[in-house]
Structure 1
Amino acid sequence: MMFREVLPATVSELRTSGLFKPDHEVTIVRDVEGRIRVIIGTRSTTTALLPDAPTQQAVEQGLRRRLGAWLASSPVWVDDVPPSPLPKAKPEKRAAHLALDLARQSRVPAPWRTQAGDPVWFLLERHAAKRAWVGDVQPQPPWTIEDVDAGRKAPVVTFFSHKGGVGRSTALVATALHLARANQRVAVVDLDIEAPGLSSLLLSAEPTAGALDYLVDGGVVAGTTARDVSALVSDPALVESGPVLQVVPAGPVDDAFLEMLARVDLQDAAASSALAERIRRLFVELDASFGPLDFILVDARAGLHEVAGLMLAGLSHGAVVVGTNSPQSWMGVTRVARLLSAPYLRDGKDPRPLLLVHGMAPSATDPRHEIETRSFRTKAYDELSAHYYPVGQVPGENEPDKPHWPITVPWTTELRGGGGLLTPPIVGVLMGAPYRALTQRLGKLFGRTIKTSGAGA
């Protein structure tokens, strides 16, 4: 049996045992190595008795036959201790209480569909890494979504793509320029620190420091500030007469950069409360030093990277997801949709805001344009209906202001092989209708009316 088969086999075995009632609570715990343990509790000892020793043995024997080496030692626990502390209990009883209490706090409702006669299912996964991507991170942005909705604070928005080269950084830069030209105070932060690129687009000279310096220095000394790692963009060709654009690059990619990168645990960023706190503090300092800001736009690493997961799950108020009409891109859309809907599934709160961008789309004159854009919208509706919208709140498919209705950004030759400093022809493309629509939609997502310049604005 392979890892991916273990959980379905566990549920199947427990169902077919015929030992559980609807008032039972069954928590399936899967440890770091993938081994299974089952905790059995009850909501009513009248209608669902806790299992006695022979019943526990029967459950264990059935699971061992089915799962083999995938079953943990001491695999069946009974939740028979009260949730209150037991100061006078024996040490072994206190240990059981602490373990069960942790399970109650950390478990989540099971993601599989309930069948008639099922117990109340819970799942508790123990992870070694990728904690943010699998839902182990609670949202803790630098300020609340209520402050953002009330206009008191800037939304922190993460730009994400499941694969590189689809126009994510370009979309972020275009949005930042449109916002600045609309008199919005904007900071952009490059947290794609393993493949930095924002500075090459916006800064005429290599930066002397950046986000990586802030993250490493902040773990040792308290002297490095947001101003120390920021650069200012005031070129009228970019921001016109708008406010100065605050840019936090990743940093200069020199020997020191690589040494610093080797000292930041990016493989389990979500588990590092210190790293998360330093990123959070960077946003707070940016707002205090250059603000009050209207938007903070963050460029995150492509793919299921730890920093991207931490930003999307824990530190952002919303996300812009850029993808193409490819299976690989849709994997990323699905994962992000689940992360942003997690507050609803866990606490009954609204999903965090999401905006989709259909990048690298065929141009309007290309015969494939209509077919591909329609296909992208249909797929987006299906994915968000299944993984993002709350139950009973799925909108109609043809509602253009809803998250499933993407901003379409056609592929252009001017951006081919880009990555260098913005030139007038490229700026002209970025000021075009698709990126203008993206900026306006992003503003509307957070209750802001953005009056962008340009034809048709």
Structure 2
Amino acid sequence: MTTFDQITPTVTAVLEAHRSLVGRLDWLLVNRDLNGRVRLIVPEAVDADEALRTSVIALVQTLAPQLAPHAHPQSCAVLFEASREQACQGAAAYALHGFDNVWVVDRLATEANWARIAPETQGTPRIVFFSIKGGVGRSTALAATAWSLAQAGKRVLVLDLDLESPGLSSALLPPERQPMYGITDWLVEDLVDNADVILEDMVATSNLSHDGEIHVVPAHGSNPGEYIAKLGRVWMPKLQADRTRERWSARLERLLLALEARVRPDVVLIDSRSGIDEIASTCITDMGANLILLFALEGEQTWNGYRMLFEQWQRAHAAEMIRERLKIVGAIVPELDRVSYLESLREHAYGVFVDTLYDEIAPPKPEAVGPASGSDGKWRVGDLIEGWNFDEADEGAPHYPWAVNWHRSFAGLRSLQGRLAVIDVQEVNAIFGSLLDGVRDAMGMEGQS
């Protein structure tokens, strides 16, 4: 009995056995519906070619028994469409490994699409703070980063996109400065073309601003109102006048562009929801992030989670589009045995990156590059061709962690806002220095610690 995880390898094996037939098709879609059942979609021109149509039906008759129960009845196991784009209709799709004209299409209950990677923004730098697990000090680190950049004279825009567990705004804004509206309000009002009315009342300036400014856009306003009812609507696509659908992530991008035009920040800091869900997918893949900080605690839960995410990028051939933007952050590094803790964190991070995102470097063919350097004619490490790969001890590598140290003055705080109001630069650097230096370097602020 085939399970969901066996669908792709089973389909691949059957298509490989019928490669000559597959090569005659302009394109072929392996469509997985919401229930995980598979049917094939081919160009409608195939339907008019009796011989080709018969061959495709025979292929389906071979495939269906091997996929059961993840196969549609043979009477409806093949669809004919005018174009591949029309057949996909915005669903998540990626090329099937080993084929130039075959794609796997996933129809999902949500519009989250970890394989659809937006290119890096060319305007204001955007930095996303993300973690697989909650409770790792991610929002605290973002608040400290905003504080530090404002100390250096930067204008910082902060977005609290942890919509299901909001709280970042309370770290940067006292109650009297909380704006009237937040991101959830804008997304709901946008559905009825009323978003412009509230844009001016959803940004507040933090009292923690120094030589620069910290502009905060909270998840909700000073009076959350019917927050749960609104939260259930923020993911909605918007139906445009021409009857096309605008994905919620595209709506969020419109909001961000409007905020950037209004605030004109030097950098945008985005607090993402933890876990592999709709919000996290949008923050990491859809908003053109230039730097994605992956907060990590040493432990199997962390690395199993990141491995699943990286493997999805690997399967979807999307890794090369995002891997250079990633950076591991060692979260809440303990006071005792810090060195050994960070070594273990680095070792496990390296293992995950090597297995999923780094290039597997193989020796070049001797006839292509000349003789090997060894006197015995064997290839040595120095003879390997170049690729996107790093040594485990390379401090500039994505897997090498920037450390955020645990500190008793931040443990069990009732008010992060009050703590940041009285903290000094030395204290901040002692706790967050590695992270802050890395962010400054990424922004081209070397020497401004």
- Calculate the TM-score normalised by the size of structure 1: 0.75
1:377–1:346 CA distance, 2 compared to 1 (3 A): closer
Map of 1:3 onto structure 2: 4
CA distance in 1, matches of 2:326, 2:161: 19
Map of 2:283 onto structure 1: 311
Q: Give the alignment partner of residue 246 of structure 2, picking from 260, 273, 283.
A: 273
Map of 2:127 onto structure 1: 157
CA distance in 2, matches of 1:434, 1:358: 12
RMSD of equivalent CA atoms? 3.6
Q: Give the alignment partner of residue 423 of structure 1, picking from 415, 418, 421.
A: 418
Matches within 5 A, 1:242-261: 242-251=211-220, 252=222, 254-261=224-231
Preserved CA contact (<8 Å) 1:337 1:388: yes
Q: Deviations over 1:342-364 (max 9, x none)?
A: 99x4597574512211112222x
3-state SS in 1 of match to 2:330: strand
Map of 2:296 onto structure 1: 323
1:98 and 2:77 aligned: no
3-state SS in 2 of match to 1:71: coil
Matches within 5 A, 1:36-185: 36-38=38-40, 52=52, 55-72=55-72, 73-74=74-75, 96-98=81-83, 102=87, 107-111=93-97, 114=98, 120=100, 122-135=102-115, 137-139=116-118, 145=121, 147=122, 153-185=123-155
CA distance in 2, matches of 1:58, 1:412: 66
Matches within 5 A, 1:180-191: 180-191=150-161
1:432 and 2:432 aligned: no
CA distance in 2, matches of 1:430, 1:267: 45
Q: Give the alignment partner of residue 29 of structure 1, picking from 28, 31, 39.
A: 31
Q: Deviations over 1:114-162 (max 9, x none)?
A: 5xxxx55733222223443442x3417xxx63x2xxxxx3112211111
1:399–1:246 CA distance, 2 compared to 1 (3 A): same
Preserved CA contact (<8 Å) 1:36 1:75: no
CA distance in 2, matches of 1:209, 1:371: 46
Q: Structure 1 residue 74: deviation in Å? A: 4.8
1:338–1:14 CA distance, 2 compared to 1 (3 A): closer
Map of 2:445 onto structure 1: 449
1:250–1:430 CA distance, 2 compared to 1 (3 A): farther
Map of 1:150 onto structure 2: none
CA distance in 2, matches of 1:336, 1:181: 35
- AA of the residue aligned to 1:159: F
Q: Structure 1 residue 403: deviation in Å? A: 1.2
CA distance in 1, matches of 2:402, 2:172: 23
1:253–1:415 CA distance, 2 compared to 1 (3 A): farther
3-state SS in 1 of match to 2:8: helix
1:286–1:390 CA distance, 2 compared to 1 (3 A): farther
- AA of the residue aligned to 1:416: A
CA distance in 1, matches of 2:427, 2:51: 65
CA distance in 2, matches of 1:216, 1:57: 46
- AA of the residue aligned to 2:407: T
Map of 2:162 onto structure 1: 192
CA distance in 2, matches of 1:301, 1:427: 27
CA distance in 1, matches of 2:85, 2:154: 50
Q: Give the alignment partner of residue 297 of structure 1, picking from 252, 269, 278.
A: 269
- AA of the residue aligned to 1:127: R
- AA of the residue aligned to 2:8: L
3-state SS in 2 of match to 1:34: coil
Aligned residues: 400
CA distance in 1, matches of 2:314, 2:124: 21
Q: Structure 1 residue 170: deviation in Å? A: 0.8
Q: Give the alignment partner of residue 377 of structure 1, picking from 328, 346, 352.
A: 346
Q: Give the alignment partner of residue 396 of structure 2, picking from 392, 401, 404.
A: 401
CA distance in 2, matches of 1:3, 1:67: 9
CA distance in 1, matches of 2:309, 2:151: 30
Q: Structure 1 residue 173: deviation in Å? A: 0.7
Structure 1 unaligned spans of 5+: 42-49, 79-94, 148-152
Q: Structure 1 residue 295: deviation in Å? A: 0.7
3-state SS in 2 of match to 1:280: helix
CA distance in 2, matches of 1:371, 1:347: 30
Preserved CA contact (<8 Å) 1:204 1:421: no
Preserved CA contact (<8 Å) 2:112 2:282: yes
- Calculate the TM-score normalised by the size of structure 2: 0.76
Q: Structure 1 residue 228: deviation in Å? A: 1.1
Q: Which moved more, 1:55-64 or 1:165-174?
A: 55-64
Q: Deviations over 1:199-218 (max 9, x none)?
A: 22121115232222222223
- AA of the residue aligned to 1:36: V
CA distance in 2, matches of 1:310, 1:185: 24
CA distance in 2, matches of 1:97, 1:189: 42
Preserved CA contact (<8 Å) 2:32 2:104: yes
- AA of the residue aligned to 1:354: L
Structure 2 unaligned spans of 5+: 44-49, 239-243, 361-386
Preserved CA contact (<8 Å) 1:230 1:247: yes
The percent identity for this pair of structures is 26
Q: Deviations over 1:291-326 (max 9, x none)?
A: 2x1111011111122112111110132311112112
3-state SS in 1 of match to 2:82: helix
CA distance in 2, matches of 1:331, 1:316: 25
CA distance in 2, matches of 1:32, 1:248: 35
- AA of the residue aligned to 2:214: L
Q: Give the alignment partner of residue 174 of structure 2, picking from 204, 218, 221.
A: 204
Q: Structure 1 residue 31: deviation in Å? A: 2.2
- AA of the residue aligned to 2:401: P
